Structure 1
Amino acid sequence: MSSKIQRTLALGQELLNAVRLIKAGMGKLQTLDGGNDFYHLPLLSLASGFERFMKVTLCFRAIEVTGKFPTNKTFPAGRDGHDLNLLLKRVREECFLNEYVDTIPVGQMDFEYLSSSELTSLISVLSDFGQAARYYNFDVIIGRSPQTEDPDAAWQKLETEILLSREDLFREIEENPASQRFDEEINIEVVSRLERFTRALARLYAIGRIGKEAKRHLGYVSIFLHIPDSDLGRRRYPLSGSFF
């Protein structure tokens, strides 16, 4: 098997892995409630899935621009290589082409969403967790200064941000602190934000004009491509991350 074929197959496999990790992560998020607050598992899955999805997308764009596969210099080594904020910045700059953003309304809408505070606050939590926060407790145990905020505090801060943005939910929790709707609505909002993100990335493969090789792999991301706004946060995802 030629090196080019091997690399093409590996690229497709990484995209498939990314999609399955994201689906599994969202499925696990949907199980969180008052009796199950083990969010470390979905955060691990989502951080890895979105890192892979953005890196593969950047690889497809590099192949289109240069005609060659990326080298080991394409992504930084060490902690920076897992920085989702840096990857997201590169996706906005390298993959949202002017001809797409300026002429196709959903292109402009997606570009603006990828720059929005409601997405970046969530991506920052995932990024910190994927880079170092997952080891926060070990840093504390061995007496090393943690490199990130306590992940429990970071997640609670995100939940508070969502709660404060929803006057109806905030009022209900004030009136009935024992309400079970809080966890459900938080999960819906988080999954909705993630779905908008994955849909924006998937559209790059379909109509974003990032390259012929990306278009050949459209089937891998098609599950996210046609999510209507009315369904955001409402779909159920398999815990296994199965592709179908």
Structure 2
Amino acid sequence: MTTELQKTLALDQELFNAVRLIKAGLGQLQTLNAGNDFYHLPLLTLASGFERFMKVTLCFRWLEVHGSFPTSKALPSGRNGHDLKCLLERVRAECFLDDYVDNIPVAKADVEYLNSKELLSFISVLSDFGQAARYYNLDVVVGRNVQTDDPDAAWQRLETEILLARKDLMDEITNNPASNRVHIEINNEVVSRLERFARALARLYTIGKIGVEVRRYLGYIGYFLHLSDSDLGTKKYELSGSAL
């Protein structure tokens, strides 16, 4: 039988893994350019990292509300367990408490952002990837009914939307086709959006007051917690996911 101590240590390790996976995924995004189109790696890393971060957050909230660790039925499993959109809906419903959202201006801003197309378009691609699209090519090979878009193409379409909305980048392509600035700026914008998501989750562990136990983990989530708006999209991440 699993002891309470074992469960505590496992939840501790899972949060640590989640944060490192997200950091590593952001670092992998920053390496994408004209010579490196290996989108599969950051998609795999980020989908796993954010799934774990949200599940751990729900576990802590369950522990606070029920006074015990969640049962196996408390969290979705199998393919449904990789549905980031569903997990995000649960985090919004169960963890963004009325007293927090109504009285803390940044909490209201976080909730609005979690509902925005700016974020959800990327979460949708990561969600599809986690559920099925990571095997897109194999499904095509064996003739399975493919239910998602090619994940690389889906992510690149989102990058194109950022490009088309930036006149300065369109001008850069016209005036200096060999410039790498366009890739760098798009990567920074994507990283900024995902950092803001991670920061919104991290705030739940302090000013969000979702439970007593979460206060012990400031050391894990502190990096995202302390990102200011001006910091978003400006930090350099290690590919290993280690602290800078």
Q: TM-score, normalised by structure 1?
A: 0.96
Residue equivalent to 1:219: 219
Q: Deviations over 1:146-201 (max 9, x none)?
A: 12111122012111111122232233324444332111111100100011011111
Residue equivalent to 2:70: 70
Determine the C-alpha separation between the residues in 2 that align with 1:165 and 1:112: 21
Determine the C-alpha separation between the residues in 2 that align with 1:35 and 1:102: 47
**Deviation at 1:114?**
0.7
Residue equivalent to 2:144: 144
The residue correspondences of 1:155-194 to structure 2 (distance < 5 A) are: 155-194=155-194
Q: Deviations over 1:86-145 (max 9, x none)?
A: 001111111000100100111111111111111000111111111111100000100111
The residue correspondences of 1:70-149 to structure 2 (distance < 5 A) are: 70-149=70-149
The residue correspondences of 1:201-212 to structure 2 (distance < 5 A) are: 201-212=201-212
The residue correspondences of 1:230-241 to structure 2 (distance < 5 A) are: 230-241=230-241
Q: Deviations over 1:45-72 (max 9, x none)?
A: 1000000000000000011111111011
Determine the C-alpha separation between the residues in 2 that align with 1:223 and 1:76: 28
**Deviation at 1:214?**
1.1
Determine the C-alpha separation between the residues in 1 that align with 2:47 and 2:105: 29
Contact kept? 2:169, 2:182, Cα under 8 Å: yes
**Deviation at 1:243?**
4.0
1:102 is paired with a residue of what secondary structure? helix
Determine the C-alpha separation between the residues in 2 that align with 1:77 and 1:110: 27
| Worse-matched range after superposition: 2-11 or 38-47 | 2-11
Q: TM-score, normalised by structure 2?
A: 0.96
> Cα RMSD between the aligned structures?
1.4
**AA at the equivalent of 1:69:** F
**AA at the equivalent of 2:82:** H
| 5+ residue gaps, structure 2 | none
Determine the C-alpha separation between the residues in 2 that align with 1:75 and 1:127: 16
